[in-house]
Structure 1
Amino acid sequence: MSPRTVLRPLLRPLLGPYARLFTVPGSAWFSLAGWVARLPLPMLGLGAVLLVEGESGSYALAGAVSGTLALAASVGGPQWSRVMDRRGQGTVLRVAMAAYLVTGLAFVAVVVADAPRWSWFLLAALTGASVPNIGALVRARWAALLEDAERRQTAFAFESVVDEVVFVVGPPLVTVLGTMIAPAAGFTTGIVLGTAGGLWLARQRDTEPVPVQAPAGGGSLRRAALGPAVLVVCAAYLGVGTVFGAMDVVVVGFAEAVGQPALAGLALALYAGGSLVAGLAYGVARLPGTLAARFVGTAVAFGVAAQGLWLVSSLPLLVGAGFLAGLAVAPVLVSGASLVESRVPRAALTEALSWTNTGLTLGVTAGSALAGAAVDAWGAQAAFAVPAVAAAAAGLIGLAGAPLLRRVPEPAARVDGPVGG
């Protein structure tokens, strides 16, 4: 009996629902285009560090410039999404990609030419502000195409896995390009890939959500995009993002401290692998309870799972604790996206999803900075306190926000009604 014959009955219940997603016309193409367009997400920050440090010799300057780009992207993404909700993705995405390409290449040019430092920060900010939140655009397409809430959960879980793959592929790619070819190569490749993927996505007009005109003043849609459920998810995602940013720094520092720096990549890969496995399983699970209860439950599970990091004193313990913590990542991200999708009208959905990603981005930025300071001050082993405390905070935020999540907006205040169950 072949391994394929044995495994097929075991894998069909897990992978079958994902295969059925792509029976929807055009879904495979917009998801693939979204994957290409998202590749620069981890490439730009690291690429900016490699570029600026390579040209200036200063890691402090490189970190400041990279942080400027990330903060600008976290603010600019929801603004692009708001316009796309009103005007449609295709037209606005073309404008965003043109701005992204021009400002990104201009940033590379001023750094390589050793232009005044203020121009580095200005163009880093403009490049970041030009980046639309591609993940939100893709999820909004799934929400518009799938009527069934369980299938939307499966689609959101698939996109969470895509995000994991992006963050597995992107950093090694940009590192190889930036160190083996030229400091500018990684960042420039990210800009080109992002532009190509974004323009490819923009061409797929048949699957984009139908734009909804905002009412006079647009105040109700702005309130919907930042309603109680969205704010609670954003706040919890801030803690989740802090764990992401901190883990990258602390794991590398710990591996170096125990004399095995090459194994840092393995530990981080298993951490991401745990999230990938859990994301696939959660996407097809049919769980009891409301979406709000699932989000609170997964947030608490995320907070509890990461407490094993306090016990890390060797690489084997790090691998085990990291994999366990990783298992809780995708469920909280998928349940948060599903909850937001169920509480926000289609006319504000892309913007709302972008705000949740802003919470993650700000958390990653804060986590990296806090973890770096903790490693310097306490040592790498003690610095695992940063992701452990941040994860606990995410769980506590979910619990504290539970009363707000029980308040379902009145249909009249939702502009065009709910999009989920």
Structure 2
Amino acid sequence: MARKREKPVSPRSLLGPYGRLFAVPGAVWFSLAGWVARLPLPMLGLGAVLLVEGESGSYALAGAVAGTLALSAAVGGPLWSRAMDRRGQGRVLQVAMAAYLLTGLAFVGVVVGDAPRVTWFVLGALTGASLPGIGAMVRARWAAALEDAERRQTAFAFESVVDEVVFVVGPPLVTVLGTLVAPAAGFTTGIVLGTVGGLWLARQRDTEPVAVPVTTGGPSRLTAALGPAVVVVSLAYLGVGTVFGAMDVVVVGFAEEQGVPALAGLALALYAGGSLVAGLAYGVARLRGTLAGRFLGTAVAFGLAAQGLWAVSSLPLLVGAGFLAGLAVAPVLVSGASLVESRVPRSALTEALSWTNTGLTLGVTAGSALAGAAVDAWGAQAAFAVPALAAAGAAVLALGAAPLLRRAPGPVEASPSRVGDPVGG
């Protein structure tokens, strides 16, 4: 009996679920606006370094100012998100963008004008604190618009790919502007792009989640936003972010040690490319098991995949190990966002997702600092221990917290939305 030939999987069938996402009214525009508004995320830190170093000649001062900006953004993002859950994204985002534009331009002014150094730190901190969690806002819109959990996973995977594109496009753009045009050009461009994208998103009121005002007698909004699942995912993301920050520094240092600094960009692009490919595939996969189980599985895979970095001794090995490690990045980020979305009331979802972004941001800051110190002390090849150990730590933490994640979650209220999902569940 002749065996029936299986129909091969075509790119069209693989990417079809992503195309169907944008049948949701307004989805194309809020996702595109969110992409533009997120471009400053990788541009501001590097842009601040290029600006401050270009005006002062000090990398130490530049790193300190950029670190202050990043830390204030990590704290300010969840606070803006809490206000958005209560009062609506559009109203709060307009205020945030006004503050972001004013403080960002003022920061450029005091640095270029050589004002007292304390003003550099103050305005850098205010600029970072004015930047809301755009990624969390866009994901909250998807969660409000899509009824089916599998389609929300696809949407979160798509946004993870958008994040990868942002971090691929942003650094080269800010470097070209900051080095070939003027030290202030890259940072200023990030401020302008963020403001344009943020205000564009703020105008799209029809797709924003319905605000839920504070009520008395129920659990506090902070308690709802920082439940066990959110804390575990945020701490695991701290390890993931440490890997991100460390890889940027160690790969550049290793390429310089090998005498081919220009190839650092290629290695980092392939690392990001591995995550992009895995994110697209994970978003359309129909996996069995619970969301907690998926998160634990992807966290362990992330920890194991990064252990190949211990073997890096040449650029070909770096390319291979980096691509393999990159394949595990997007799945753990998507599964973590899906788990948080399933465990948090809609009235606190934007804030909860912002706390996970805070974990990533703090990790990136810590990873850059630790990796820089390790490269100076041990050399770049030995410094690959930093991302490898950070990835292992994220996996161990997730496994250790498994009992918390396996507890039956409480009921999550239905998602009120102004948007109708034409595909439905």
Where does 1:40-59 land on structure 2 (aligned, <5 Å)? 40-59=40-59
Q: What is the distance in 2 between the residues matched to 1:275 and 1:112?
A: 38
How do 1:332-411 and structure 2 match up within 5 A? 332-411=332-411
Name the residue aligned to 2:325: 325
Q: Residues 246 and 368 of structure 1 are in contact (CA less than 8 Å); yes or no, is this contact kept in structure 2?
A: yes
The answer (yes or no) to whether the contact 1:343–1:408 under 8 Å persists in 2 is: no
Q: How many angstroms does 1:299 deviate by?
A: 0.1
**After TM superposition, which residue ranges in structure 1, 4 or more long, deviate above 6 angstroms?**
none
Contact 2:343–2:410 at 8 Å: present in 1 too? Answer: no
Structure-2 separation of matches of 1:314 and 1:218: 58
Please give the residue correspondences for 1:132-171 in structure 2 after superposition, counting only pairs within 5 Å: 132-171=132-171
Q: What CA distance in whole angstroms lies between the structure 2 residues aligned with 1:409 and 1:156?
A: 21
Partners in 2 of 1:368 and 1:14 — Cα distance? Answer: 36
Does the CA contact (< 8 Å) of 1:68 and 1:121 recur in 2? yes
Could you tell me which amino acid in structure 2 is paired with residue 81 of structure 1?
S
* Amino acid corresponding to residue 350 of structure 1 in structure 2: T
Q: How many positions carry a matched residue from both structures?
A: 411
Residue 88 of structure 1: aligned partner: 88
Q: Structure 1 pair 343/123, CA: closer, same or farther in 2 (3 Å)?
A: same
Q: Residue in 2 aligned with 1:4?
A: none
Q: What amino acid maps onto 1:37 in structure 2?
A: A
1:10 deviates by 1.4
Counterpart of 1:15?
Answer: 15
Residue 263 of structure 1 corresponds to: 263
SS for the counterpart of 1:313 is coil
Q: Identify unmatched segments of 5+ residues in structure 1.
A: 1-6
Q: What amino acid is aligned across from residue 395 of structure 2 in structure 1?
A: G
Q: Retained in 2: the 8 A contact 1:229–1:343?
A: yes
Local SS of the residue matching 1:183: coil
Structure number with the higher helix fraction is: 1
Deviations 1:236-294, CA, capped at 9 Å, x for gaps: 00000000000000000000001111100000000000000000000000001000000
Distance in 2 between residues matched to 1:218 and 1:347, nearest whole Å: 12
Deviation at 1:408, TM superposition (A): 3.1
Q: d(CA) in 1 for partners of 2:234 and 2:361?
A: 10
Contact 2:42 2:166 in 1 (8 A): yes
Matches within 5 A, 1:54-65: 54-65=54-65
1:297 alignment counterpart: 297
Displacement of 1:8 in angstroms is 10
Matches for 1:48-197 after TM superposition, within 5 Å: 48-197=48-197
SS class of match (2:10): helix
Measure the CA separation in 1 of the matches of 2:145 and 2:278.
25
* Deviation at residue 218 of structure 1 after TM alignment: 7.2
Aligned partner of residue 210 in structure 1, secondary structure: coil
Q: Which amino acid aligns with 2:198?
A: G
Q: Distance in 1 between matches of 2:385 and 2:19?
A: 40
CA contact under 8 A between 1:71 and 1:362: conserved in structure 2? yes
Q: Distance in 2 between matches of 1:238 and 1:98?
A: 30
> Which residue in 2 is equivalent to 1:231?
231
Secondary structure at the counterpart of residue 12 of structure 1: helix
| Aligned AA (1:194) | G
| CA pair 302-418 structure 1, distance change in 2 beyond 3 A | farther
Following superposition, the deviation at residue 409 of structure 1 comes to: 3.6
* TM-score normalized by the length of structure 1: 0.96
Alpha-carbon deviation of 1:220? 2.5
Taking the aligned partners of 1:214 and 1:149, their CA distance within structure 2 comes to 27
The letter for the 2-side match of 1:405 is: L
What letter is aligned with 1:133?
G
C-alpha offsets along residues 348-367 of structure 1, whole Å, 9 cap, x if unaligned? Answer: 00000000000000000000
For 2:249 and 2:362, locate their aligned partners in 1 and report how far apart those are by CA, in whole Å.
16
Distance 1:174 1:111 in 2: 17
Q: Deviations over 1:102-145 (max 9, x none)?
A: 00000000000000000000000000000000000000000000
Q: Which runs of 5+ in 2 are unaligned?
A: 1-6, 417-424
Where do residues 188-267 of structure 1 align in structure 2 (5 Å cutoff)?
188-216=188-216, 219-267=219-267
Instruction: Kindly provide the amino acid, as one letter, of the partner of residue 360 in structure 1.
Output: L
Contact kept, 8 Å, 1:97 with 1:195, in 2: the verdict is yes
Cα deviation code 1:363-415 (max 9, x no counterpart): 0000000000000000000000000000000100110111000123433xx5x
Amino acid at match of 1:221: R
- Given residue 195 of structure 1, which amino acid in structure 2 is its aligned partner? T
Q: Which residue of 2 aligns with 1:3?
A: none
Return the TM-score normalized by structure 2.
Answer: 0.95
Which secondary structure does the structure 2 equivalent of 1:288 belong to?
coil
User: 2:30 corresponds to which letter in structure 1?
Assistant: F
